[in-house]
Amino acid sequence: MNFTFLGTGAGMPAKERNVTSLALGFPEYDGDLWLFDCGEGTQRQILYTPVKLTKLTVIFITHLHGDHLFGLPGILGSRSFHGAESTLQLVGPKGLKEYVETSLRLSGTHLYYPIAINEIETEGKVYENAHFVVTASELDHGIKSYGYRITEKDQKGELLVDKLKEIGIPPGPIYKLIKEQDQVQLPDGTMLETAPFIGEKRKGRIVTILGDTRPCSAAELLARDADMLVHEATFRGDSERLAHDYHHSTSLQAAETARQALAKTLILAHLSSRYQKKEQTALLNEAKAVFPHTYLAHDLWDYQLKLQPRS
Ligand SMILES: [Zn+2]
């Protein structure tokens, strides 16, 4: 699972940090690609990364503020120019459909692929495919802002071929049945319990990607036991009042959420452009004092979250 941070700044584009967007790629699942938020200029940022628009299958929007949204119509159009024909799924708050349809209509943009827009009406499951379930909960940001929890389904263990050969079952179509079923009838009529011939399963990973928010219980629940939490850190720890007034979090508050939720790793993003290099380092160090396994994202940074070891 590859995180490519396309934009890690808040509010408006800055030279060093573009506005928010995060690509989540799955090389382990045919290179499938998702996007979380799509600030202005996201498609230009993509040009500097290996991210391929034709691999894009889902775009999750956390909330409709412009620094998370204004790049969306452009991405939709370019995906069409690149020749994509498969359906693109969009997930986000109410209003997303009107925004997308109006921008495409008024700009005369015709897409050569279908889009399916899922506006979140109730919290809970908002997307599922063969490998993942994604749930959403509402955060605390003045307008509807969602956090997404991506849970990978546990993977079945591998077939223990040597053990099967030992009891005289040679490779063949029956191996597929043994992997899929609890019991299989052998050619001589006896029933085989398959469990002893399947290796340890692999536990799925949990990733939490939050939209803008003040600290809230929904954020903590979404991040519970997550292998990775991506959290906004618009302000430094000494600006709690400011963060509250603008419905945002400080880096300290993000770290506190990660600690309370027993997350394993925290990545801070969505920094205010007021902070220069030295202050950004201080912002990171403040968070690390509360939650040591914290990183500060920067634009075009690539982070890989490996598969869980077999249990
Ligand atoms: Zn916002």
Residues 223 and 186 in one domain: no
Burial 262-277 (b: 16+ CB within 10 A, else e): ebebbbbbbbbeebee
Distance in Å, CA 47 to ligand 1 centroid: 25
Catalytic residue (choose from 67, 162, 182, 302): 67
Residues 230 and 114 in one domain: yes
Report whether 67 belongs to an annotated binding site. yes
Residues 22 and 145 in one domain: yes
Residues 150 and 256 in one domain: yes
Report whether 140 belongs to an annotated binding site. no
Residues 135 and 244 in one domain: yes
Which of 197, 225, 253 finishes a domain?
Answer: 197
Predicted confidence pLDDT, tens digits, the chain (311 residues): 999 999 999 999 999 999 999 999 999 999 999 999 999 999 999 999 999 999 999 999 999 999 999 999 999 999 999 999 999 999 999 999 999 999 999 999 999 999 999 999 999 999 999 999 999 999 999 999 999 999 999 988 889 999 999 999 999 999 999 988 999 999 889 999 999 999 888 899 999 999 999 999 999 999 999 999 999 999 999 999 999 999 999 999 999 999 999 999 999 999 999 999 999 999 999 999 999 999 999 999 999 999 887 76
Q: How many domains does the chain have?
A: 2
CATH (domain of 46) = 3.60.15.10
Distance in Å, CA 265 to ligand 1 centroid: 23
Report whether 270 belongs to an annotated binding site. yes
Distance in Å, CA 130 to ligand 1 centroid: 31
Distance in Å, CA 116 to ligand 1 centroid: 24
Domain range enclosing 187: 161-197
Residues 77 and 225 in one domain: yes
Report whether 293 belongs to an annotated binding site. no
Catalytic site includes residue 67: yes
